[in-house]
Structure 1
Amino acid sequence: MMKFNLAEYLEELRPLINVDCGTYTLEGIECVASQFEQKFQAMTGWYVKRVDCAKAGVGLEIRNKPDTEQIDIMLVGHLDTVFAKGTAAQRPMSYDNEKAYGPGVADMKSGLLNIVYALRHLEPDLIDKCSICVCMNPDEEVGSADSVAWLQSVAKHAKHALVVEAARADGGLVKARKGRACYQLNFHGVAAHAGNEPQNGRSAITELAHWIVAINGMTNFDSGTTLNVGVVSGGTNSNTVAEYADAAVEVRFWSNEEYQQVDAALKRMQANPFIDGVSVALEREVYKPAMMPSERTESLMKLVETLAQELEIDIKWHSAGGGSDANHMAILGIPTIDGLGAIGGHFHSDKEYLLLESIEPRIRLLMRILQQLAA
């Protein structure tokens, strides 16, 4: 039985907030990872493995049965935030009677701490009946490019995935998330004097313009597949036919199949430029598939609803435009629920908050879910 003390929880949360750990801030990621490593090492029966996530730093893989291939429950959260160095010193963790504030307080240091609290207070014999794995990665805020292979190598052995990102401001959990892909486009044409011999030039900017029109035409607001040319550059001066141009493009989508059609269309355009003599380089820098609930996920949702009712917690379900690591779990066909942390809001801003009254109920809900899935 958990005896929850809010003041003690907040003091344990404070050192997780008061450290700069934006993605690729390796010393901060190491600091937060070390804190969680120590918390699990202090608990009987848990084994911590450090995972090298290349330039993103260290990730943690924590198991109660490290030699068992099958995983009954996978818990997922991220160590990084979106905030720059110096932010923690400028606005360290604070709280009033209703909310706690600070960089990453809801997204998602409290979620990681909630995992610790839930596992600390589960009955030892219940934990012994099942295989649980906790993965904490260091680069979710930039798409998990350096950790996704590791996460999915673990997830493919899991029966259920629970992502403990913060609940929405109205307490809602997340059943679906849009997918996202980001491309960098580089156009290489032929420079020429724009006055004396423009016919000898091949404008990279003109090629880019054709691409912008074509990309905008792929947007389908009805299905939710949207493309945005967000950054462009090119040329050197107005009297030179542009030899180079660049663009950054983002795609958001609910349908993984529709995204594959977009990706194929971009590759066809790359192979067949609009202007002879211009070459195009197309690089996909970020990819996160859409998370859509399967029948098995819907069964898990019904279980969560039942357990929430027992705890007198009102549950709503949301479809979110932004992605998380839940997307990478769901694409493997694993029943996946997201938003199981405490309630928060204004993520990625200096107004980010965590609703204090929601912390204990959401820990208890997570515990009940773990108990039911373990049984």
Structure 2
Amino acid sequence: MDDHLCCTEEEMINLLRLFVENESGSNDKEGVDRFGQLLKEKFQALGFLVREDVQTDYGNHLVFQTEDAEEDGVLIIGHMDTVFDRGTIETFPFRVTDRRLYGPGVIDMKGSLVMLYVAMRTLRENGKTLAPFTILLNSDEEVGSVTSRPLIEREARHKRAALVLEPARKNGDVVTSRRGGGQFIVRVDGISAHSGIEPEKGANAIEELNKTLVEIEQLSRPEEGLDVTVVGISGGVASNVVPPYAEATIDVRVSTIQQMTDVERLIRAICSVDYDDRTETYVEGGFNRPPMEFTEGTNQLWQTYRRIAHDHDVSVDHCHTGGGSDASFPAALGIPTIDGLGPIGGGQHTINEYMKRTSFVERTVIFKDFLETLTK
């Protein structure tokens, strides 16, 4: 199958080794920027224009564009950062077996970045005229895209499609919908008092918080893909003091934009009412990733991808997943979006992270033809 590409499997594996050994943990700005410089050189050599979104705390985000990519083009989203600290490569080195490729970030998502580069290089060397492509590679996806979200949303506007390079599912599925998620912190301030001598003078923050949380958890609708879960709680100062303080962390997962809007409004409304008017309840936080909903535009992208895979005798299905990714941002703007286009693997974020070796060339060929079809 690699005769469809500009380089052999061995050359792709060697490039993947280079990418993996250029460690780029989210909190290692120097490492991410060094890896970014390598990518800049690779894509500039293919004729892409380069813009750099300079950051202070995280690595700089990169945007590669064809000359006509401003309007009505295709946005490709990937990330340069991994969850692994610098030095992990010493204890978890890149290695190759007959069936798998191992290493920190090998599937999430250094392998996808090799796939992207080889696909684009093949199209260039074959003399193909590319569609207006914008490639956005951010540096903070693994920590919630805290600085890159505005950039992603800005680049996504007016695009006709967004392609996201997270790895395929273990069974090879691509992703056409995802749940959105957020966290809320509910804090209650009460009044302390000696619990043995004059408890009536106190206002129990833990008791107030518990009553509030019962109401909030009742917002869950698991059958509709809406889950509201208390995941952490703390409070009190001593065993003989009416607690003047209590706090809870609430994880919320939603399947639709409407659910996201409604549940945040209801959480804030519940927290605005105090059972004991001597207490004060505060709520902070919100959603950091909107849901990626399955739309007709996404279905058209998926059907095109599936047909191309079928042409290469590869059976592919699509799925919904509960985890978040940067696909949520263009999808929430109404841009047809498809995710999970990378190679197949598993063990993400662990010292057993791997790529299924046969999927490396296979998914690169399919992706290359997918890009060529979008150009047409």
> How high is the TM-score relative to the length of structure 1?
0.94
- The match for 2:28 is 25
1:11 aligns with 2:8: no
For residues 208-241 of structure 1, the C-alpha deviation after alignment (integer angstroms, 9 at most, x for no partner) is 2123212221111110110111111111111111
1:308 aligns with 2:309: yes
Distance (Å, rounded) in 1 between the aligned partners of 2:257 and 2:69: 32
- The match for 2:115 is 114
The letter of the residue matching 1:48 is V
For residues 36-80 of structure 1, the C-alpha deviation after alignment (integer angstroms, 9 at most, x for no partner) is 11211222x211111134533311000011x65204211111112
The letter of the residue matching 1:241 is V
1:49 aligns with 2:51: yes
Distance (Å, rounded) in 2 between the aligned partners of 1:223 and 1:126: 49
Distance (Å, rounded) in 1 between the aligned partners of 2:13 and 2:124: 24
Distance (Å, rounded) in 2 between the aligned partners of 1:278 and 1:328: 38
Identity of aligned pairs, percent?
32
Q: Which runs of 5+ in 2 are unaligned?
A: none
Secondary structure of the corresponding residue to residue 111 of structure 2: helix
Distance (Å, rounded) in 1 between the aligned partners of 2:181 and 2:128: 36
1:336 aligns with 2:299: no
For residues 246-302 of structure 1, the C-alpha deviation after alignment (integer angstroms, 9 at most, x for no partner) is 222111111221222110111112322332122223221552111111111111111
Change (3 A) 1:369 1:144: same
Q: Which runs of 5+ in 1 are unaligned?
A: none
State whether residues 71 and 133 of structure 1, in contact with CA within 8 Å, keep that contact through their aligned partners in structure 2.
no
- The match for 2:135 is 134
State whether residues 181 and 253 of structure 2, in contact with CA within 8 Å, keep that contact through their aligned partners in structure 1.
yes
The letter of the residue matching 2:311 is E
- The match for 2:268 is 267
Distance (Å, rounded) in 2 between the aligned partners of 1:373 and 1:150: 23
- The match for 2:83 is 82
Secondary structure of the corresponding residue to residue 241 of structure 1: coil
CA RMSD of aligned residues (A): 1.8
Change (3 A) 1:278 1:54: farther
Aligned pairs, number:
373
1:276 aligns with 2:283: no
Distance (Å, rounded) in 2 between the aligned partners of 1:224 and 1:148: 24
Distance (Å, rounded) in 1 between the aligned partners of 2:241 and 2:18: 56
Distance (Å, rounded) in 2 between the aligned partners of 1:277 and 1:48: 58
State whether residues 77 and 136 of structure 1, in contact with CA within 8 Å, keep that contact through their aligned partners in structure 2.
yes
Distance (Å, rounded) in 1 between the aligned partners of 2:125 and 2:23: 35
Secondary structure of the corresponding residue to residue 364 of structure 2: helix
User: How far is 1:125 from its partner?
Assistant: 8.4
Distance (Å, rounded) in 2 between the aligned partners of 1:201 and 1:263: 30
State whether residues 111 and 165 of structure 1, in contact with CA within 8 Å, keep that contact through their aligned partners in structure 2.
yes
State whether residues 62 and 134 of structure 1, in contact with CA within 8 Å, keep that contact through their aligned partners in structure 2.
yes
Change (3 A) 1:36 1:225: same
- The match for 2:203 is 202
Change (3 A) 1:104 1:306: same
